[in-house]
Amino acid sequence: MRFCDMNESQLLALAITAEEEDGRIYRDFANELRQNFPATAELFDKMADEESNHRHRLIELYQKKFGEHIPLIRREDVRGFHVPRSSWLLRTIRPEKAREQAALMELDACKFYEAAARQAKDASVRQLLGDLAQEEQKHEAAAESINDKQAQAGELDLEEHVAKKIFILRFVQPGLAGLMDGSVSTLAPLFAAAFATSNTVQTFKVGLAASVGAGISMGFAEALSDDGKLSGRGAPLVRGIICGFMTAIGGLGHTLPYLIPNFHLATMIAMIVVVFELLIISLIRWRFMDTVFLSAAFQVIVGGLLVFLAGWFIGAS
């Protein structure tokens, strides 16, 4: 269906469906965010109430003008309409992303009502559609006003703290655990093979096997250790993939130098890579875990050194 071919009854029916869908999306956002982000959930509850009020006014006018039966006309049935992403797909949506999508939805609604008002010939229909276009423009200002009040009360600062905590639990922590395991635990077998054989090809194979094996093991361990429902750590599959991938990356970093045929050069580069890996781990712990950098570096480097010495001692004996 082309928008320019729609009559007043079809425009109202489309508006009713759109308001109902937008209201449901806002309710879904509110329910998803309520536990950890109550201030943003309150904002979406109020926006959903506004959409419900618009829908009731549209239905009242439709019944008055065209009767009781309201045909189902959706945005995807009309050419050129942007269809918002279904909210049930956004199971881990962050507050700022929800606000961004809501802003786009309000902008789309405003444009629709302005275009529909220009196309409508009936005076009462034209008036209501024009009024709703103005109200959609005011929604963004009202949302900013609510945000200002919440910010002054410290609610948004609290939400930012919670969002950071969730990000660390769901992404940083499993990634850091994998990177530490891959960077440290593979040192012993890699350098044991290196000093035992002095063969870069054999050493590379051992390091590759240790890295891939550790990645698979850590991925399954992370995914099966916690379903995330009680701890709030998110989807176990995502955490497992992150942890397993970072574990493999941590081991491959100091394994790849052994693709160089010269054993001494490869070993020297591998040791330099190990130092950089341990410094990166220290930086991540300092940045996200509120650990003093020197303390984090000392802990990680001492642990890595002990594992390296174990591999060197076993390989050289």
**Res. 272: pLDDT tops 80:** yes
pLDDT (0 to 100) of residue 193:
87
The 10s digit of each residue's pLDDT in 73-132 is 888 888 766 555 555 445 566 777 777 777 778 878 888 888 888 888 889 988 998 888
* DSSP at 83: P
Contacts of 163 (CB under 8 A, 6+ apart): 36, 37, 94, 95
> Tokens representing 25?
């999306």
Residue 293's pLDDT band, with cuts at 50, 70 and 90, is low
- The pair of structure tokens assigned to 67 is 């009767």
CB atoms within 10 A of CB 88: 10
Q: Which of 70-84, 133-147, 202-216 has the lowest mean pLDDT?
A: 133-147
If you average pLDDT over each of 65-79, 104-118, 244-258, 293-307, which comes out highest?
244-258
pLDDT confidence tier of residue 155, bands split at 50, 70 and 90: low
Rg (CA), the chain: 29
Nearest to 203 by CA among 217, 189, 182: 189
Confidence of residue 176 (pLDDT cuts 50, 70, 90): confident
pTM, to two decimals = 0.53
Taking the C-alpha atoms of residue 135 and residue 209, their distance in angstroms, rounded to an integer, is 62
pLDDT at 30 over 90: no
Residue written as token pair 């109902």: 20
The answer to whether residue 222 scores a pLDDT higher than 50 is yes
144, pLDDT greater than 60: no
E strands of the chain, at which residues? none
What is the structure's pLDDT at 191? 85
DSSP symbol at 3: G
181 has a pLDDT exceeding 60: yes
Using pLDDT thresholds of 50, 70 and 90, give the confidence band for residue 201: very high
Confidence check: pLDDT of 260 > 90: yes
Task: Say if residues 57 and 128 touch (Cβ distance below 8 Å).
Answer: yes
- Alpha helix stretches (DSSP H) within 226-292: 236-253, 263-288
